[in-house]
Structure 1
Amino acid sequence: MKINSISHICCIGAGYVGGPTMSVIADRCPDIEVTVIDINKDRIDAWNEKDLRKIPVYEPGLDEVLKRARGRNLFFSTAIEASIAKADIVFISVNTPIKSKGVGAGQASDIRWVEASARQVAKYAKGKTIVVEKSTLPVRTAAAIKSILETPNKNISEDESCQRFSVLSNPEFLAEGTAIKDLEEPDRVLIGGDDSSAIEALKSIYLRWVPKEQILCTNLWSSELSKLISNAFLAQRISSINAVSALCEVTGADVREVSKAIGADHRIGKKFLEAGPGFGGSCFKKDILNLVYLCNHFGLPEVASYWEQVIELNAWQQQRIYRTILHKLFGTVNGKKLAILGFAFKADTNDTRESPSLRIALDLLEEGALLSIHDPKVSEDKIFEDLNRNEAAWEGKWSYVKTISEAVIEADAVLILTDWKEYAELDWFDLAKKMRAPAWVFDTRSIVEPSQIKSAGLNFWRVGDGVN
């Protein structure tokens, strides 16, 4: 394959990474046909919805990209065989959850879908094909993919079979809520591999809009490991500042002031120093658990223990917030109505995977609370799916509400668990009239003005505030 000869791209997996990533590539490369395939017909149908409000992934700016590219050179399809056969490059962007059974259960990544995708590529690809790891994978997964791809195909001569595939690692570094901006203006694009012509071919695509100096090339193993380490470092900062928030509360300090002071040091920087209810989403916990597993596997238990503490601290922060709510409400929430504002793990996404809201809600339901849940982008069906999947012997009940006003009627407390912009702009004087006194506001995201809450006659707690 010659550089700049790419005419067809196929992506296996139409999820939070595959859909947005291929949409931006298609938008920036109108001469290249990009097809996203998935075995889930309902998901593909949702991506093809005329009403862009119904597409399966909410990301600011994604609808505008789809308007330009979909139907022009961007397609979503279940035609797996034909799409792979036509492709010059195949991206593998499938789910890699933590194993629930067997060796490595609870820590190691389950790469069954990656293996299945590699087998599909081996079976259907025609001619020279570049296979790109886009999913977050354990180090040296590329070796497994190579082994599958290089297995002789009975319909192809052995010489041709060994020359057909090049495997590259091109991990995503997207933050949900800013994924389109991250794709259009990336800090870096990382490409790992040992086939220089394949690397140049993939690099030529990104060069359409990414400055050359921001495209980093490494070997395969460095690229795979860099993704895990990047997420581990970010999660570590969140757990660190959350540990500091607890110390601030008992010493009279304010974590926001501490964060500003230490973030002013250019060696540290100010990003990811906002205390809150802990990290969520599909990547941080999963990637650190996988890192822990790898460290133990390679005989580095001390390193594994270090990273495991990041996860334990994250869970502790959510439990600490739940216990604080319980304590402030006279030691019990049984039969009390609590309004939960925000169910997504962060603002500007409809993703609820590993959401702190879910963990805190489950603990409150176990205590017998009556939860009234609002989120501007997470559907009632999704909330039901998440809570029902984790249901135990609850004493409490929950309901989904479409308005914040409805959520707070006769509520004993409001819990702000997701940093949606609209939650920072509420009329607390009006909301306070609807609540049952003495009512509380628990701000786990530090997005409301304390003086407004107190002026409205409400009790107030926020994370990391020593005057609580």
Structure 2
Amino acid sequence: MTLRISVIGTGYLGATHAACMAELGYEVIGLDVNAEKLQALSAGILPFHEPGLPELLRKHVASGRLRFTDSYEEVAQRADIHFVTVGTPQRADSQSADMSYVDAAVDSLVANISGEALIVGKSTVPVGTARRLSERIEATAKPGSKISLAWNPEFLREGFAVKDTLTPDRLVYGIQDDTCLAKLREVYAPILALDTPEVVTDLETSELVKVAANAFLATKISFINAFAEVTETVGGDIKTLADAIGHDARIGRKFLNAGVGFGGGCLPKDIRALQARVSELGLSQTMGFLDEVDQINLRRRDRVVSLASSILGNQLAGKRICVLGVTFKPDSDDVRDSPALDIAVRLYNSGAEVSVYDPEGNKNAAGRFPRLNYVESWREAAKESDLVLLLTEWKEFRALDPQELGEVVSSRVLIDGRNVLDRPLWRDQGWVMTGPGEKFDLAED
């Protein structure tokens, strides 16, 4: 019998998981309370940018394996395994994660399940959430029903979400009994057949794995950016420094690129939520270092704004600035907590005329801050600009020709906020340029 799966919440994580489960051959029903989103997904239209996912969505909507609804009654009747993939955003009044969406999803499922079912949490939650929900399920389940809870954290990278779902680095299950384990292994059998590492553990460990991974990555990024602050003062080559220490297998080279810092909907939120949770547990000093990680990250934005101001004679008012990229990373349209967008907004608020081009992020950025001048090409953004800022390392920007760009700007001055351009090549073409980790003296350049 074909497994029948529901996915509760069809945002970035949910839509990806639903389409990929259909690709594995299962009958999948996705649930959301947003009627506009459901209409788009049912028509095979993905409401966000993610390479490879639109094709899977259209394929399985057409095949009939994947459908969408807003009815908890329907998903309770049509599925036996329910993946909860709703968001856990930072609360408006604190650094804690907002658990209202997860709680509401689980409560609604339990209220409609009459037989046997497995609820599998994939959302990133504070440690202790699964245990609390398990007790809540036991107390509120219908008489005669048998509902189990497991936790199966996600490790998706925007731009690689399909790959990370179908061929993940590892699968982690937080379980309470062998029956849950057997069901999860049945779901993931095609992936396990590829020799994917499997980690079987308790609920608490499974909850901590995702936030621990994100806290480590955030720390590694801020670590190299802290050294960038040093080399910006005393001199030195931050890329060579990163290469040198990255050869050490205990350290590794990945995530050691000095830049404008991390952003997006996960790393900033998750490290803050982790700090809030351990503080609730009476361990406020345990994750205190993450506050400095956060502060180092935010200082990178300050550095770029200060550098831009210095280059432009400490007078930003009326200056034309071209910003290339406003998403927090390439191959995504996500501008949540984006360093690039924050920098562009700060420059605008200081009086500069800011023109922005991003291959996928203009629409979302305009929704958050409509007063920037969003244009449809790098050429239009750079026209007669006094300063160019490369803030998201899209392939299109990495491949820019210094002579071609130089023909449209007023001044050949560029801040490479991601350290991805060949500085000697650009300088040979008459560009004054700098980037994170470089000691910069405008008079010398």
TM-score (norm: length of structure 2)? 0.95
Deviation at 1:329, TM superposition (A): 1.3
Amino acid at match of 1:336: K
SS of the residue 2:208 aligns to: helix
| Kept in 2: contact 1:6–1:88 (CA 8 A) | no
Do 2:169 and 2:196's aligned partners in 1 also have CA atoms closer than 8 Å? no
Aligned residue for 1:86? 78
1:203 and 1:215 in contact (8 A); partners too: no
Q: 2:423 aligns with which of 431, 443, 450?
A: 450
Paired residues of 1:335 and 1:370 also in contact (CA < 8 A): yes
Q: 1:49 aligns with which of 34, 43, 46?
A: 43
Distance 1:204 1:368, change over 3 A: same
Q: Report the number of matched residues.
A: 439
* Other-structure match for 1:235: 218
The residue type equivalent to 2:369 in the other structure is L
Give the 3-state SS of the residue equivalent to 2:190 in structure 1.
Answer: coil
**SS at the partner of 2:29?**
strand
Q: Mean Cα displacement is larger for which, 412-421 or 75-84?
A: 75-84
Match of 2:33 in 1: 39
Deviation string 1:316-337 (CA, Å, 9 cap, x unpaired) is 1111121111111111211111
AA of the residue aligned to 2:388: V
Letter in 2 for 1:252: G
> Where in structure 2 are there 5+ consecutive unaligned residues?
none
Q: Is the counterpart of residue 293 in structure 1 residue 276 in structure 2? A: yes
- The one of 70, 92, 97 equivalent to 2:61 is 70
Name 1:346's counterpart in structure 2.
329
Shift in CA distance, 355/152, structure 1 to aligned 2, threshold 3 Å: closer
2:15 — aligned with what? 19
Whether the 8 Å contact between 2:51 and 2:331 is mirrored in structure 1 is yes
Partner of 1:276: 259
Displacement of 1:6? 6.1
| Paired residue secondary structure (1:249) | helix
Q: Secondary structure at the match of 1:209?
A: helix
Is the 2:3–2:187 contact (alpha carbons within 8 Å) kept by the matching residues of 1? no
Q: Choose which of 169, 177, 183 in structure 1 pairs with 2:151.
A: 169
For the pair 1:413 / 2:395, whether they are aligned, the reply is no
Deviation of 1:151 (Å): 2.7
| Contact 2:415–2:434 (8 Å) recurs in 1 | yes
* Cα distance in 1 between the residues matched to 2:68 and 2:402: 45
The yes-or-no answer on 1:323 pairing with 2:306 is yes
Please list the CA deviations of residues 224-280 of structure 1 after superposition, one character each: whole Å capped at 9, or x if unmatched.
011111110011100111111121222221111111111111111111111111101
Q: 1:339 & 1:288 partners in 2: Cα distance? A: 32
Between stretches 270-279 and 201-210, larger displacement belongs to 201-210
Q: Is 1:188 matched up with 2:170? A: yes
Match of 1:459 in 2: 432
**1:372 match: secondary structure:** strand
Quote the offset at 1:354 in angstroms.
0.8
Which residue of the partner structure matches residue 413 of structure 2?
440
Alpha-carbon contact 2:110-2:140 (below 8 Å) kept: no
Shift of 1:191: 0.5
The residue aligned with 1:198 is 180
Contact 1:279 1:345 in 2 (8 A): yes
* Structure 1 residue identity aligned to 2:147: F
Give the aligned partner of residue 98 of structure 2: 110
Distance 1:274 1:340 in 2: 20
Q: Contact 2:127–2:204 (CA<8 Å) still a contact in 1? A: yes
- Aligned partners of 1:409, 1:204: CA distance in 2, in Å? 57
- Sequence identity of aligned pairs in percent? 34
**CA gap 1:384/1:147 in 2 versus in 1, 3 angstroms:** same
Decide whether the 8 Å contact of 1:342 with 1:417 is kept in 2: yes
Deviation per CA, 1:168-194: give whole Å up to 9, x if none: 110101111111121122110100011
Match of 1:431 among 364, 383, 405: 405
Structure 2 CA distance for aligned equivalents of residues 89 and 286 of structure 1: 28
What letter is aligned with 1:273?
Answer: L
Give the C-alpha shift of residue 212 in structure 1: 5.0
Contact 1:6 1:201 in 2 (8 A): no
Distance in 2, matches of 1:301 and 1:123, equals: 37
Paired with 1:319 and 1:171, the residues of 2 have a C-alpha distance of 34
Instruction: State the Cα deviation string for residues 154-210 of structure 1 (Å, max 9, x = none).
Output: xx43xx24xx11111101011111111211221101000112111211122212123
Deviates more, 1:134-143 or 1:55-64: 55-64
Secondary structure, aligned partner of 1:448: coil
Cα distance in 1 for partners of 2:200, 2:89 equals 27
Aligned-pair CA distance for 1:152: 4.0
The residue that corresponds to 1:392 in the other structure is none
Per the TM alignment, residue 467 of structure 1 is displaced from its structure 2 partner at its CA by 6.0
Q: Which residue of 1 aligns with 2:132?
A: 144
Q: Please give the per-residue CA displacement for 1:97-135, whole angstroms capped at 9, x wherever unaligned.
A: 11113xxx1x11110011110111011123111011111
Match of 1:310 in 2: 293
